[in-house]
Amino acid sequence: MRKSRFTTEQIIGFIKQAEADMAVSELGRQHGFSPASFYAWRAKYGSMVPLAACHQWSSRGVARSGEGE
């Protein structure tokens, strides 16, 4: 099986950038993928949240709850 060039977190980041009004063609030029790849990724990963973001938010919540005590 062929190894993916981008991680799932990177792909979800590209989708988030496109949702923030960045042109798909511009994203593709910057990062080296085609618009067709982007739309296939959006169909597959569009509703996912990156794991790194989940871990970041949970660690912030733990740190903040311990600060006020």
What is residue 52's predicted lDDT score, i.e. its pLDDT?
53
Amino acid at 25: S
Q: Give the residue, 46 or 12, on which the prediction is more confident.
A: 12
pLDDT in tens, 19-69: 998 999 999 999 999 999 999 999 999 887 666 555 544 555 555 555 554
What is residue 46's predicted lDDT score, i.e. its pLDDT?
85
Q: Are 38 and 24 in contact (CB under 8 A)?
A: yes
What is residue 62's predicted lDDT score, i.e. its pLDDT?
53
Give the domain ranges of the chain: 8-67
